[in-house]
Amino acid sequence: MPSTVPEVRELLAFHYDCLQGMYFSSHEKVNGGDLLFSEEITDPYYNFLAPTTSQPVPKAISDEFVRRNRQPAIYLTSLADPRHPDFKDLAAWAQDAWLVATTDTLAPTVEHDPGLTMGIVGPQDRERYVAAFAMAYSGDDPQDPYGQLDPAYSSCLRESFEHHSPEFRKYYVIATQGTAKARSQ
């Protein structure tokens, strides 16, 4: 990322590139936006058009959703008007917000809970990482907005440890609260 405050377009590009090889299998820049798909995950969260303008959506884009057997969906950004009539047939799937910081500002500057530990996870600990992810999004809690986790998410996450980008480094981090003794009490 640039050292200056990034623009929305730069944040979007980073977001898509960061998840390439993790959940997204393809990312194509098309007239008026970005078209992203996952070969394994079928839900709209990783299969969508991210419009960058309010120009009409070409029929070829709608046809691509049908060809891939995916529900047509758009990922709303501040770069497009979601009320545009050409978006009427696409489900508005997501709107996101990001926190942006440089890595040197991520170090704790205030005293924190001594029972909280954080660590970078490498390929040797990927199963522990995938298990923590699966537990967090398991759908076991009735309040879980995601419902039961599609096994494709765990499969993709496991495989993502093998995908590297020449443009940025990615880190997998696990945070643990309390010690094993404290958690058992």
Kindly report the average pLDDT of the chain as a whole number: 76
CA distance 48 to 27: 10
Single-letter residue type at 180: A
Say if pTM beats, i.e. exceeds, 0.85.
no
- Find the angle CA(55)-CA(66)-CA(41) to the nearest 5 degrees: 100
Percent of the chain with pLDDT over 90: 12
Confidence of residue 181 (pLDDT cuts 50, 70, 90): very low
Single-letter residue type at 65: F
Of 50, 54, 100, give the one whose Cα is nearest residue 73.
Answer: 50
pLDDT single digits (tens) 123-132: 999 999 999 8
pLDDT single digits (tens) 156-165: 999 889 887 7
What is residue 118's predicted lDDT score, i.e. its pLDDT? 81
123: left (phi over 0), alpha (psi -120 to 50) or beta: alpha
> Burial, 22: exposed, middle or buried (Cβ in 10 Å; 0-12, 13-18, 19+)?
middle
- Of the listed ranges 28-37, 68-77, 93-102, the least confidently predicted one is 93-102
What is residue 185's predicted lDDT score, i.e. its pLDDT? 37
pLDDT single digits (tens) 22-62: 888 888 888 878 899 999 999 888 888 888 777 777 788 88
Given CA atoms 43, 49, 54, 59 in this order, what sign does their dihedral have?
Answer: negative
CA distance 17 to 118: 25
pLDDT single digits (tens) 103-139: 566 555 556 677 788 888 899 999 999 998 888 877 6
